[in-house]
Chains A and B, each alone.
Chain A
């Protein structure tokens, strides 16, 4: 037991490969660019919820891997998405976060997306319907059919989330992509329509994976007084942390004792369909999505990486569309008391990753970040992060513990289960 000098501090940990990562994966600009290209542009991302576009001609604008994207609901009520980029001179077509194309805009007519710059117009299927002074300028060299919008693969799936994929060539559906990781929540989310009631965002000076890691590991419940006092019992420590294909994980449920926290109460009466009272499931999807159902309220975090040391995190809260106003108010309070911007837990999580970010400046010396806990794949096991980084290494062909080296699959010994076998 002693402190360490520089050589000892920088020496690789005496742990198996895969039980630690090099902090460069959280700081390096070149790795970051590669992640956008090889991972974020090829993954299914739930960019918003269908209740954000309830009516025909409603739209929502987002960004995926630096690409501006617009999600629109057509006259046929189908949700489609396009690059929010004009084929003429590359202007952003729609600047508002959300709205409706039912009304005309200063440069355009109703029921069309209009690029304000030179007034080209597009319908809800992405077809160009109008080019100003077309014949005068283009004669017959360029036609409307040549300049449709770039449509993106889009699915509404899993309780009404709108998923977008920038990669036309990935044959997977969202269901294939989820690889079973969402099954624990599907009956609760698909039973009846959901509705969004909460949105806020944070831009945090840390790498997006640090937020995802924090969502994947529950060992950090030591950070949260609320979770310690309402959790930490045998059922909590028995919660399973399971890996699925494509880098996703989920964390099994148990009954949270909300009334153990002063001023808080059971959430039993407003449980989501098919969810036992006060239960709590969590799904973390590769590369940076989280679904979190605590009894009465669903939270979804979506990460938009902005740089190796900067991430936009959007926090959504959802309830049942059938809620009465009183039910909704209670649901919202349940959500906010823990997960709102002034809630007990979210602030603590964001403080912790900000402090990690402050220790991982892009030019700082690289460090070893340990993901080495083994507890039979239960709640404080760090298998969730190990599972994620194995997938990450495969996609980038880089070793997470030595990112200049090619990825090699490795078998991580599981001392916890070996110990159990030995004592059995």
Chain B
């Protein structure tokens, strides 16, 4: 049950939308720290996709907040495709729980990649293409009027991911 129409919840809904949008900007700019600071201690992250090939729901990446932090901290030690990603999203639905202490949101997502060093940069760098299509299914904790990510599921439609990526989505 939700009670989105109380005036307090209208404020919460706006805060949630703004957090989702700001997180896209932070992640686009590789500000992983700002994103993880907006997650609560029990945060869980997962990228999932359903495969009609094997008729199974799959997890492509998962971890808690500390796991995600160490994963992004280690990036400079790894060889990566540094082609920047741009997340374009629209928050379609926010539901605040009756007790006002948690909320969920459903957000439509498209991620574009602008090639930098992934193939032959002389030929390909600067061209953009659609990289991923899916949704964010988010859960939030709310305490003292402050909203934090409790869980993020990136639900992709893609099963063809070509070179993939070292970046969380």
Contact = CB atoms under 8 A, between A and B. Distances in A.
B60 A347 contact: no
Interface of B: 47, 49, 51-56, 58-63, 66-67, 70-71, 73-74, 77-81, 118-120, 159-169
14 contacts: A196-B54, A202-B162, A203-B162, A204-B163, A225-B77, A225-B78, A341-B60, A342-B47, A347-B164, A347-B166, A348-B78, A350-B164, A354-B119, A358-B120
A119 B168 CA distance: 47
A343 B53 contact: no
A336 B60 contact: yes
B159 A336 contact: no
A197 B56 contact: yes
Interface string A333-355: 10011001111101110111011
Contacts of B163: 202, 204, 347, 350-351, 354
A98 interface: yes
B53 A351 contact: no
Given A225-B77, A263-B67, A196 B56 contact: yes
B69 to A, nearest CB: 8
Nearest to A345: B78
Interface string A104-123: 00000000000000000000
Given A342-B47, A354-B118, 10 more contacts: A199-B53, A200-B49, A200-B161, A201-B159, A203-B162, A226-B78, A263-B63, A332-B59, A347-B163, A351-B79
B51 A199 contact: yes
Taking chain B's interface residues, is the majority helix, strand, or loop, or is none over half, making it mixed? loop
B143 to A, nearest CB: 28
Given A98-B53, A225-B78, A354-B118, A198 B58 contact: yes
B54 A202 contact: no
A314 to B, nearest CB: 8
A: interface residue count bin: 35 or more
Contacts, number: 120
Interface in A183-228: 196-205, 223, 225-226
B53 A223 contact: no
A366 to B, nearest CB: 18
Contacts of A4: none
Contacts of A261: 74
A14 interface: no
Contacts of B67: 263
Contacts of A204: 162-163
- Of B52, B53, B168, the most chain A CB neighbours within 10 A belong to B53
B160 A201 contact: yes
Contacts of A198: 58
B72 to A, nearest CB: 10
B78 A336 contact: no
Contact of A344 (B51, B54, B81, B166): B166
Contacts of A354: 118-119, 163
Nearest to B55: A98
B126 to A, nearest CB: 16
B119 A199 contact: no
B150 to A, nearest CB: 18
Contacts of A347: 80-81, 163-166
B58 A197 contact: yes
Contact of B52 (A96, A226, A341): A96
A330 to B, nearest CB: 10
A333 B73 CA distance: 19
Nearest to B47: A342
Contacts of A171: none
Nearest to A312: B160
A350 B54 CA distance: 23
Contacts of B63: 263, 333
B144 to A, nearest CB: 31
A351 B81 CA distance: 7
A14 B2 CA distance: 76
A341 B61 CA distance: 8
Contacts of A199: 51, 53-54, 56, 58, 159
A342 B168 contact: yes
B164 A346 contact: yes
Given A204-B163, A342-B165, A347-B163, A225 B53 contact: no
Interface in A266-294: none
Please name the 5 residue pairs, one residue from A and one from B, whose CB atoms are nearest each other, closest first.
A263-B70, A341-B164, A341-B161, A342-B61, A358-B120
A225 B74 contact: yes
A340 to B, nearest CB: 5
A417 to B, nearest CB: 33
A344 B76 CA distance: 12
A337 B68 CA distance: 11
A262 interface: yes
B166 A202 contact: no
A52 B53 contact: yes
Nearest to A340: B60
B109 to A, nearest CB: 15
Contacts of A336: 59-62
Contacts of A419: none
A223 B131 CA distance: 24
A386 B74 CA distance: 35
A177 B124 CA distance: 42
